[in-house]
Structure 1
Amino acid sequence: MAQPIPRLSPDTVQRVVAAAWDELPPYDRIRLEYGVGPGALVQLMKRELSPAAFKLWTARDKKAKRPTVRSTFPYGR
């Protein structure tokens, strides 16, 4: 279950959204500076962004977080 979104001022919400767009992946810095965990950050971004922008942000975040499959073997098979 995701964490509840902490009460933030509108100015702080804008700074969190801007930081989330800047960082790849954004979770560590935002947790330290604003106290917003990963689940709460996703909820906040879903609430603040348009559906198309949220989809772009999640795709960008998922791609930056970790490669799912190695493209090739390091020394061949």
Structure 2
Amino acid sequence: MKTYKDLSEIQIDRIIEMAWEDRTPFDAIKLQFGISEQETIEIMRREMKPSSFRLWRERVQGRATKHAKLRTDDVDRFKCTRQRNISNNKISKR
């Protein structure tokens, strides 16, 4: 099983991007990178400013789309079509 230290900077950046996406479940992050929801939260805590982390946690906590078992059947994609791309932990302008 991978740990935070085993991940490259590019992988960490992608994990952060996936975690920010409202429709990407933690299960998809686990499948792709082999890290748990708790490890994803730890990465977000280490890599983000404290205020950004708090905002993210408030938004994600209890959100059905972040947990595959809580999703409804009408959610069939990971990323919203209107969501901006994130690169190097910064949101890109449209």
TM-score by length of 1: 0.71
Larger of the two Rg values belongs to structure = 1
Q: Distance in 2 between matches of 1:15 and 1:60?
A: 19
Counterparts of 2:63 and 2:21 in 1: how far apart (Å)? 12
For structure 2, the 5+ residue unaligned runs are 66-94
CA drift at 1:5 = 2.9
Q: Distance in 1 between matches of 2:22 and 2:58?
A: 14
CA deviation vs aligned residue, 1:24-44 (integer Å, no higher than 9, x gap):
463111000111101111110
How many angstroms does 1:23 deviate by? 3.3
Question: Which residue identity does 2:30 align to in structure 1?
Answer: R
For residues 61 and 28 of structure 1, the distance between their equivalents in structure 2, rounded to whole angstroms, comes to 14
* Percent identical residues: 29
More strand by share: 2
**Match in the other structure for 1:48:** 47
In 2, the alpha carbon distance for the partners of 1:23 and 1:33 equals: 17
Dislocated runs of 4+, deviation >2 Å: 23-26
Conserved? CA contact 2:18–2:24, under 8 Å: no
**Pairwise CA RMSD of aligned residues?**
2.0
For normalisation by structure 2, the TM-score amounts to: 0.59
Residue segments in structure 1 that go unaligned for 5+ positions in a row: 67-77
Q: CA deviation at 1:55?
A: 0.3
CA contact (8 A) 1:6 1:36 kept: no
- What are the Cα deviations for residues 11-58 of structure 1, in whole angstroms up to 9, with x where unaligned? 110000000001346311100011110111111000001101100110
Identify the residue that residue 18 of structure 1 maps to in structure 2: 17
Assess if the C-alpha contact under 8 Å between 1:45 and 1:54 holds in 2: yes
